[in-house]
Amino acid sequence: MKYRYLLFNKPYRVLCQFRDDQGRVTLKDFIPIPDVYPAGRLDYDSEGLLLLTNDGRLQHRLTDPRYGHPRTYWVQVEGIPMPEALEQLCQGVVIQGYRTRPAEVALLPDEPKLPPRYPPIRFRRFIPTAWLQMTLREGRNRQVRRMTAAVGYPTLRLVRVAIGHLQLKDLAPGRWRELTHEEQQKLWHLCS
């Protein structure tokens, strides 16, 4: 069997699976390659980098929390986070009775250059927003959103920009590409 490794820029409101009984947009609407599956997920209302493969061993290594592979997100939050809130995120916060692992968190000095989202986030004239870069080494359901809410700054927009060394860069929303040979080699090394 020939293994396939695809990077996909998942748009907002795309279901991270190939079938849906409710008629929502799925990966099938973008990726014509049979028998590849996401190595991890992004919520319906999240955007960004998704790795798809038919390599079950690699999929397992990337999604099992005990291996702690880094995933980096750009997170637009409501309000301007205080340093104490950022420190809490760095140390881990309690969500649903569970303390998250420590995260790498930084306030971005400028809004990242991203394509517009449709529909756009709500605009509130008197409530500022800020962008964070967060790198997690675990991936629980809606974890980033729950973490930022736990410290008082709800997530408005969430875009995954990296999985380990793999980066979103200029891959347009709804587009996919095969990994280069060099990217595959680094990925296998990361998961060995």
Reading the block at residue 142, the tokens are: 């809606």
The residues spanned by each domain of the chain are 5-65+164-190, 70-163
186, 69 Cβ separation under 8 angstroms: no
Question: Taking the CB of residue 173, how many other CB atoms lie within 10 A of it?
Answer: 20
- What is the residue-level pLDDT of the chain in tens, covering all 192 positions? 799 999 999 999 999 999 999 999 999 999 999 999 999 889 999 999 999 999 988 888 888 877 788 999 999 999 999 999 999 999 999 998 999 999 999 999 999 999 999 888 887 788 899 999 999 998 888 999 999 999 999 999 999 999 999 999 999 999 999 999 999 888 887 766
CA 30 to chain centre: 18
Instruction: Identify which of 1, 28, 3 has the alpha carbon closest to the alpha carbon of residue 183.
Output: 3
CATH entry 3.30.70.20 includes domain 5-65+164-190: no
Instruction: Identify which of 15, 137, 3 has the alpha carbon closest to the alpha carbon of residue 70.
Output: 137
In the residue annotation, 43 being an active-site residue is answered as yes
User: Which CATH fold would you assign to the domain 70-163?
Assistant: Alpha-Beta Plaits (3.30.70)
Q: Which of 43, 45, 55, 110 is catalytic?
A: 43
Instruction: Identify which of 62, 65, 17, 78 has the alpha carbon closest to the alpha carbon of residue 44.
Output: 17
